[in-house]
């Protein structure tokens, strides 16, 4: 296998040299010249339509967006004269499959090859010293890249969404260390699929790279808080626009969020009450609320918000959403009684967050919730907020939740006041040989003792009610006797250990991480034989009537196994009704068709988050909507309304509509009149 890879690499290098040395005829050069708009030695725009493009050797800089969204180009040769490729240069060149980089190149700029879905392999020349923000992100088919030891800076997000990528690097190089961290992120946290990638950083990354990460500045006179984009006002709705997963999203401050000292935002009035006769004014986006129904802090609601300081959340909040405060300037946070769940990466990289107060109602803390906060960092380093040596023990607990562990003992006894062990607290502590858990413990979090490869002895106590996914995966426990109190047990909770239940078998559950398409290893498969990649669609005839079967009704980018998409008419439409009321202060449009979409693989677990691997779906137009303009909506994880782009198509004489989605959920298709398309 290694020999095959070496031969492939040699062939690529030979091809590169041959292409670089091919002469360009005078006629071709003359024709090409008119296609390149230049300013001095900077190529600012390519205006041609050729599939194969050789950039003139008079070019020193490929300017910003020079080839952006060019759907014709398949091959580009960058000459040795080019020193820098600027941001967005080849953004979205979907059919670009071959790139030959010259030996004079020193910098691959931010977003320069983002979304080049045709790229399969590339070699970085030894002259390149840096690879910028998301330079190759969402190159979903990129399988191989060779990075030389001379490359000293690779941004953490450079290869976000490249789920098939193998990085070839020399031992001891920055690229080798980056590759190790990249693979770890792919395994543990393969990119948060709805990250607001407009910012020069990605909260979906778990481990640090050799490249120093930009800290979030602590607010204060020496570090003035960064200004937010101006708020948008529409009636009594005040909010700010963010780009989330390449979509413009308006987060609305519909509920008072108390922020003491640093929040200069005005607070909007409550969402307007229902107006059944209100006309829906359709646009490309719909408003989203930062606080949903007074219960949920929405996913990413305050992501990278720079004017937060001391935060006290209002009463009634039950869930703090995924990445809701990630990379913000929060200094302290008080969560009220009633909060039950703290989502994935909720306070990730809040670099100034040094104080956290949790209530005793919290029952779930998902992975990365407090990772890279000053609170956890100080504890792990054995200092307090003032930098003094701390006298506390090896366990960081708050509100009965065990958040972090800094010990190195072979025998671990968890303190008697712990109710919940947060996700991954003891992960990869290979020195641990035995664990004793107290009777106060109710919940063992996701991956809590995962990778404790020498763990052979376990006392679960008498009162544990829930053990989440992979809690004890990767240890040497042979047989485990579960307490009679156990009600729920997650996927691969004990790996291959033999389980004996105290009473009846517990309910089998799974966490949201298992519903991410890329987390294949989190799910359980019985088949080992090769599968035919693709998506089989079932339920069309039952849902849309006889004759509604469409060939290739669904496809999944980069599918490497077989999947099933089930389409059913939704029996419960209350969530969609509530979402329309929340967003538009109106009920569902008349004749709206609401359908449940469920994507599964052999594991049977619904796959909701697809990352950059979009699912394309084609469905028949419902009889009562034929001939009408269509609008298509779906619900996000918090139950908020989102728009989907929809296209009318005709397949074998069947009137159909086609759309793409990265988050599989319920959809609603509405017929609208021309006057409503405002």
Positive or negative: CA dihedral 394, 396, 402, 405 = negative
Counting as low any pLDDT under 70, the low residues of the chain are 1-33, 187-279, 284, 383-392, 527, 673-678
- pLDDT (tens digit, 9 = 90+) per residue, 47-65? 999 999 999 999 999 999 9
Single out the residue of 481, 480, 484 nearest to residue 504, CA to CA: 484
Return all residues near 81 (Cβ < 8 A) that are at least 6 apart.
57, 58, 59, 60, 102, 104
Q: At 158, which CATH number?
A: 3.80.10.10
Check residue 163 and report its DSSP letter: T
Count of beta carbons in the 10 Å neighbourhood of residue 500:
8
> What residue has token string 């389409």?
567
Does the residue 327 lie in any domain?
no
605: Cβ–Cβ under 8 A, 6 or more apart, which residues?
A: 510, 514, 515, 523
Q: Of 141, 160, 186, which closes a domain?
A: 186
- CA angle (123 as vertex; 122, 126 as ends), nearest 5: 155
Q: How many domains does the chain have?
A: 2
Whole-angstrom distance, CA of residue 602 vs CA of residue 139: 26
Count how many Cα atoms sit within 13 Å of the Cα of residue 111 in the half-sphere of its side chain.
18
DSSP element (H, E) containing 655: strand 654-661
CA dihedral (583, 588, 591, 594) in degrees, to 10, reads 70
Give the pLDDT of residue 627: 86
Residue with tokens 């808080």: 225
Gap between the Cα atoms of 56 and 67, Å rounded: 14
651 within a domain of the structure (yes/no): yes
Q: 622-664 pLDDT, tens per residue? A: 999 988 899 999 999 999 999 999 999 988 888 999 999 999 9
Rg (CA), the chain: 27
Inside any domain, residue 567: yes
Residue 338 CA to residue 104 CA, distance in Å, equals 60
pLDDT of residue 525: 83
**What is the helix (H) or strand (E) element at residue 644, kind and residue range?**
strand 641-644
Boundary-marking domain end, from 186, 209, 234? 186
Question: Pairing state of beta strands 42-46 and 36-39?
Answer: antiparallel
> Of 158, 186, 214, which residue sits at a domain end?
186
- Alpha carbon of 330 to those of 88, 150, 367, 375, 397: distances in Å? 32, 38, 19, 11, 20
- Residue 593 domain-assigned (yes or no): yes
Backbone angles phi, psi at 398, to 5 degrees: -155, 125
Other Cβ atoms closer than 10 A to 274:
13
Q: How many CB atoms lie within 10 A of CB 283?
A: 12
CATH for 662: 2.60.220
pLDDT of residue 383: 67
Cβ 662 vs Cβ 612: under 8 Å = yes
| pTM of the entire predicted model | 0.66
What is the token pair recorded at 250? 């308006």
Does 492 fall in a domain?
A: no
Q: What are phi and psi of 379, to 5 degrees?
A: -65, -50
| Residue pLDDT, tens place only, 120-134 | 999 999 999 999 998
Q: State in Å, rounded, how far the first CA of the chain is from the last one.
A: 58
Q: How far is CA 461 from CA 22, 333, 435, 485, 510, in A?
A: 73, 32, 10, 10, 23
Give the integer Cα–Cα distance in Å for 398 and 360. 8
Q: Which of 392, 436, 398 is nearest to 418 (CA)?
A: 398
In a domain, 634, yes or no: yes
Beta bridge partners, 108, equal 85, 131
For 115, 251, 345, the CA distances from 226, given in Å and listed in that order, are 29, 18, 22
Is residue 576 domain-resident?
A: yes
Give the pLDDT of residue 547: 75
> Residue 103 belongs to what domain range?
34-186
Helix (H) or strand (E) segment spanning residue 234: strand 232-234
In the 8-state DSSP scheme, what is residue 516?
B
**What's the CA gap between 140 and 646, in Å, rounded?**
23
pLDDT at 387: 59
5 within a domain of the structure (yes/no)? no
Angstrom CA distances, 672 to 305, 626, 646, stand at 37, 11, 13
Listing DSSP states for 87-154 in one string gives TTTTTT-TT--EEE--TT--EE-TTTTTT-TT--EEE--TT--EE-TTTTTT-TT--EEE--TT--EE
């Amino acid at each position: 296998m290694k020999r095959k890879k070496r031969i492939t690499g040699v062939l690529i290098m030979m091809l590169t040299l041959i292409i670089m040395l091919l002469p360009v005829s005078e006629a071709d050069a003359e024709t090409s010249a008119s296609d390149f708009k230049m300013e001095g030695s900077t190529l600012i725009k390519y205006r041609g339509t050729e599939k194969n493009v050789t950039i003139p050797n008079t070019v020193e800089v490929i300017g910003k967006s020079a080839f952006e969204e060019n759907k014709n180009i398949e091959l580009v040769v960058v000459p040795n004269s080019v020193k820098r490729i600027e941001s967005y240069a080849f953004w979205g060149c979907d059919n670009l499959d071959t790139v030959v980089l010259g030996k004079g190149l020193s910098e691959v700029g931010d977003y320069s090859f983002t979304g080049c879905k045709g790229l399969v392999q590339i070699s970085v020349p030894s002259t390149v010293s840096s690879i910028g923000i998301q330079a190759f992100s969402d190159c979903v088919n990129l399988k191989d890249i060779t990075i030389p030891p001379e490359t000293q800076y690779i941004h953490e997000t450079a290869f976000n969404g490249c789920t098939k990528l193998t990085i070839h690097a020399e031992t001891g190089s920055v690229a080798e260390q980056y590759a190790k961290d990249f693979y770890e992120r792919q395994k543990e946290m393969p990119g948060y699929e709805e990250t607001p990638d407009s910012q020069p950083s990605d909260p979906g990354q778990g481990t640090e790279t050799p490249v120093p990460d930009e800290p979030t500045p602590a607010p204060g006179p020496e570090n003035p808080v960064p200004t937010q984009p101006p708020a948008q006002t529409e009636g009594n709705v005040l909010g700010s626009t963010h780009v989330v997963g390449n979509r413009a999203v308006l987060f609305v401050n519909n509920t008072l969020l108390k922020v003491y000292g640093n929040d200069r935002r005005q607070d909007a009035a409550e969402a307007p009450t229902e107006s059944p006769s209100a006309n829906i004014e359709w646009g490309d986006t719909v408003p989203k609320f930062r606080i949903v129904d007074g219960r949920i802090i929405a996913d990413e609601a305050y992501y990278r918000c720079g004017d937060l300081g001391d935060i006290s959340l209002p009463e009634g909040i039950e869930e703090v959403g995924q990445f809701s405060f990630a990379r913000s300037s929060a200094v302290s946070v008080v969560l009220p009684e009633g909060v039950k769940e703290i989502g994935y990466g909720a306070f990730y990289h809040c670099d100034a967050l040094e104080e956290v107060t949790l209530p005793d109602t919290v029952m779930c803390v998902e992975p990365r919730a407090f990772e890279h906060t000053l609170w956890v960092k100080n504890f792990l380093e054995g200092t307090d907020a003032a930098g003094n040596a701390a006298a506390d023990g090896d366990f960081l607990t708050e509100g009965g939740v065990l958040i972090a562990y800094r010990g190195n003992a072979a025998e671990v006894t968890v303190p008697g006041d712990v109710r919940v062990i947060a996700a991954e607290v003891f992960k990869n502590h290979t020195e641990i040989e035995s664990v004793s858990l107290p009777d106060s413990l109710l919940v063992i979090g996701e991956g809590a003792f995962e990778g404790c490869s020498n763990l052979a002895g376990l006392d679960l106590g008498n009162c544990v009610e829930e053990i989440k996914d992979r809690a004890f995966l990767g240890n040497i426990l042979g047989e485990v006797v579960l307490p009679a109190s156990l009600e729920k047990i997650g996927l691969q909770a004990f790996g291959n250990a033999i389980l004996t239940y105290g009473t009846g078998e517990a309910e089998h559950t799974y966490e949201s991480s298992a519903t991410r398409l890329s987390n294949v290893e989190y799910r359980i498969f019985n088949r080992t034989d090769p599968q035919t990649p693709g998506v089989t669609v079932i339920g069309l005839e039952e849902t849309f009537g006889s004759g509604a079967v469409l060939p290739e009704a669904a496809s999944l980018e980069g599918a490497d196994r077989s999947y099933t998409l089930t389409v059913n008419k939704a029996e419960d439409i209350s969530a969609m009704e509530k979402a329309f009321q929340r967003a538009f202060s109106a009920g569902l449009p008349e004749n709206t068709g609401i359908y449940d979409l469920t994507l599964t693989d052999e594991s049977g677990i619904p796959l909701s988050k697809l990352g950059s691997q979009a699912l394309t779906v084609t469905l028949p137009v419902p009889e009562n909507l034929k001939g009408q303009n269509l609008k298509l909506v779906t619900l996000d994880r918090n139950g908020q309304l989102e728009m989907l782009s929809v296209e009318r198509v005709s397949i074998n004489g069947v009137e159909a509509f086609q759309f793409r989605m990265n988050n599989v959920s319920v959809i609603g298709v509405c017929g609208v009149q021309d006057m409503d398309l405002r």
